[in-house]
Chain A
């Protein structure tokens, strides 16, 4: 299978640190800010951001995981329903500034579903979107990230696969691969 490296471990590490400094710049003491990792692959990014933010600024930002499976618009349009993942939000987001975090932004449909799912926990004051890799020119919905790690041109026939050491890979890396 053809595979092209988009970001290596060092580049990912730089992007994550940049994200943290941008967040500190925009959210100061994080008094009213919460982070939500979008299941299934966003939580690993949001965990890293939470950890790095604590290292850099000493602030432990409240965070949770949001699953939007039951809010997707492709239910009954697939051969079988998607399996849901855990939603873990131990706080109300009413009046909070929410940062949604995911690894790859593609059609924008997952983010739309996530916005819908998020409202079940209250009405946020503001919502921002943080994305590690933005697949350009592929959007079905008018959704753009506020924090973007890297923009990449891809074809419909390609995947962007994100590999993390935590998931058993040799090192953190982001690849473009051809669909089988």
Chain B
């Protein structure tokens, strides 16, 4: 089978394990393309893609844009900070205006949960969710799982601890869905105030002691403290958070095994992750960034290729 079961990539929850495997296999091919002297293929040369970012983004937007350009698509970029959204235009009006310029695909980030799902019901273009509020960030989860597969050979049977601000993280939710679909065991670890109340109903283990989480896992996916989403204080201070939940080299040295450390970026160095870990041989953070382009190329290629 070389076709996704969906026209849009709205979330990992909506796609099948076979879809994920197909995306990985296609990303393997694109990773090889990215290592060629000429890193560009003409597959999407008659496709126009709009990157619509209603929320700030650096690496995701750049990664999508690079993926689109490597596939030879025409790209237009839109960010809400300098647009008519500021003048009161609705989401559908904004997107329909962009689509009337004959755009085939939309990559969208929005602060509201479900915004891409809403859009998919009202427009014809393929939609890729580049993050919707605290809900899902499917391509990040795909590239994380792809990076684990690349580093450890397989995702099935691996123990992955997601450590940090789970409550405000769209990466956490997408990762949980993706890793479970691929047969991994998932644990979430963080202060009780930063874990959603019913997270256990997703079938994940819950831990509040970061050292125990590290001892349990094969992979630690460390998340950023999302201060911009926190309306109230969830912990006394960053210093205290770092003291109890920050990961440093000494903690890794105390383990009786080697673990892999991941982070979706941007890192708050000295808060959730110390530099002596982020820059160590345990870390695959830069490989995640590299794999992000290959995964996004695969997603765009497979969505655009279906009639």
Q: Which B105-123 residues have a C-beta within 8 angstroms of A? A: none
A121 within 8 A of B: yes
A128 CB–B CB distance under 8 Å: no
Chain B, interface size category, equals: 20 to 34
Q: Mark B46-63, 1 if CB is under 8 A from A, else 0.
A: 110000000000000000
A92 to B38, CA, bound (A): 11
Cβ-based interface call for B6 (8 A)? no
- Is A80's beta carbon under 8 Å from chain B? yes
A69-B44 Cα distance, complex, nearest whole Å: 12
Contact A87 B38 (CB under 8 A): no
B263 to chain A, nearest CB (A): 30
Are A92 and B305 closer than 8 Å at their CB atoms?
A: no
| Contact, CB under 8 Å: B2 / A120 | no
**Nearest neighbor of A117 in chain B, beta-carbon distance:** B41
Q: How far is the CB of A78 from chain B (nearest CB, A)?
A: 7
Report Cα–Cα, A117/B46, bound state, in Å.
18
The interface residues of chain A lying within 8 Å CB-to-CB of B36 are 120-121
User: Contact check: which of A82, A92, A121 meets B2 at CB < 8 Å?
Assistant: A82
In the bound complex, how far is the Cα of B32 from the Cα of A67, in angstroms?
Answer: 11
Cβ of B87 < 8 Å from any Cβ of A? Answer: no
B33 within 8 A of A: yes
Closest beta carbon of chain B to A124's beta carbon, Å: 13
A156 within 8 A of B: no
Contact with A along B13-39 (1 / 0, CB 8 A): 000000000000110011011001111
Using A81-B301, A83-B25, A84-B26 as known contacts, say yes or no to A122 and B37 having CB atoms under 8 A apart.
yes
A120 touches B38 (CB 8 A): yes
4 closest A-B pairs by CB: A81-B305, A80-B3, A70-B41, A83-B2
Chain A interface (Cβ < 8 Å from any Cβ of B): 67, 69-71, 75-76, 78-87, 92, 116-117, 119-122
